[in-house]
Each structure stands twice: as structure tokens, then as C-alpha cells.
Amino acid sequence: MAVDVYQDFLDRALSQFEESTELLKLFEAIYDQVQDSQDLVDYLEANLNVDDAEGVWLDILGDLVGLPRPYADEARGAIFTAKLSGEVDDPALGCYDSATGSGGYIQTWSGINVVADSSTTVSDAEYRKQIKAKGIANHVSGIPSDFYNFLKTGFNVESDIDDSTVGLIEITIYDYLSQKERRFVEEKGPRQAGTQVEIINWP
């Protein structure tokens, strides 16, 4: 809600100033200048909330937590996938077949950018999740419960955290993360110095 700074002053002014018209005109002129600053503060408060910010405003928030907007992943259904024993063949996800033009794209540990336009960046919705997660990672001590909150708050992913091996956090996740998201979790997640993080399953 926008603040009218001059009206706020009048509400707080001592009653003996009520008849001081010249003095009130002076204060009104002063507060007219202050109002511009207050309007800017109100606008920033309304538009720099991570849940509401979009586009460039969201990019600013990402920069504030040290996370420039990342490149988007290729669609999950277009990536090469080795089937498990007993699963039905899916030619669209297997090796490329020049006769049919089918086959999935190979991704590295870093993931794979959108093939049609490798400069495509993640959507605001995806970026918002990563900003929230990075914000948590920036301000916690790195105990296992912090990693659970990092995944839950940032990515809405349920997980089990196993830190029984010294220097290693093994994470079992119960919801899908793309390869880029998995790398983000392993690289940016909260942990103490010298601790390695590994996601051990693919839901």
C-alpha cells in the first residue's frame, strides 16, 4: 500500500500547528519532494519480491544472491536415455537412426542447452526456484537439515539425506530434477568445507 508521506506527517503533527498555514505550506513543499523517494521505495517493495518479480527484476534478484539466469535444458523427452532391463523400447530416446531420423540428444554432466537455440535461458518460474535455493545456501551453516530445506524450498523436492560417511552427503530424491538442476544442487547446495555432495538416484 502506497504511503502518502505528507498525510502521514499531518497525522503525527502536534495540534498547535493546525492553524499555522504558512508553516504547513512549507512542510507540504518539503514532503512533495520526499514523496518521489517514497513512491520508489513502494514500487521496489512491490516488484522485488522473489515470488512476484518477473523478467529483468528477477534477474536483479538473481544477481543479488550470486546467480545469473542459467541456460535452459533441452526438453526431457528429447534426451538420449538408456532403458532399464525389461522396459519397452522408445526409439525417440535411443541412439540416432538416420533411416527414421529418430534418436535422443546426448547430454553431459553439465546438461544440454536447448538445441534449437542454445542461448535460451530458464523461465521465470524455474529461475525463481533456483534463486530461493541459492538464497538458503548463502545463509545456513551446511548441516544435513539445511540441505533438505534447500531442496524442499527451492525445488519442491522431497529427499533423504545420508551423511554417515565423513566428507560425503548422499542424497536420495523423490522428484525429478533435470541434469542442470542436479548439477546446481551438487555444486551450490549448502555444505561444510571439504564435503562432497552426490545425488544417488534418478526418479
pLDDT digits (tens, 9 = 90+) for 90-101: 877 888 777 887
What band does 106 get if pLDDT is binned at 50, 70 and 90? confident
For residue 119, what is its C-alpha cell? 542461448
Nearest to 131 by CA among 44, 48, 63, 57: 63
Q: Looking at this protein, which amino acid is placed at residue 184? A: F
Contact predicate 107/179, CB 8 Å: yes
> Residue 173: its pLDDT value, please?
96
Count of domains for the chain: 1
Instruction: Examine residue 41 and state whether it is found in any structural domain, yes or no.
Output: yes
Alpha-carbon span 133 to 128, nearest angstrom: 9
Instruction: Examine residue 91 and state whether it is found in any structural domain, yes or no.
Output: no
> Residue 14: its pLDDT value, please?
59
Domain that holds residue 40: 5-47
Q: What is the DSSP letter of 25?
A: H
Is residue 49 packed enough to be buried (19+ CB in 10 Å), middle (13-18) or exposed (0-12)? exposed
Instruction: Examine residue 194 and state whether it is found in any structural domain, yes or no.
Output: no
What are the pLDDT digits (tens) for 21-58?
Answer: 777 777 778 777 777 777 777 776 776 788 888 899 89
Instruction: Examine residue 35 and state whether it is found in any structural domain, yes or no.
Output: yes
User: Cell 522396459 belongs to which residue?
Assistant: 87
> Residue 174: its pLDDT value, please?
96
Instruction: Examine residue 18 and state whether it is found in any structural domain, yes or no.
Output: yes
The 3-state DSSP class for residue 114 equals: coil
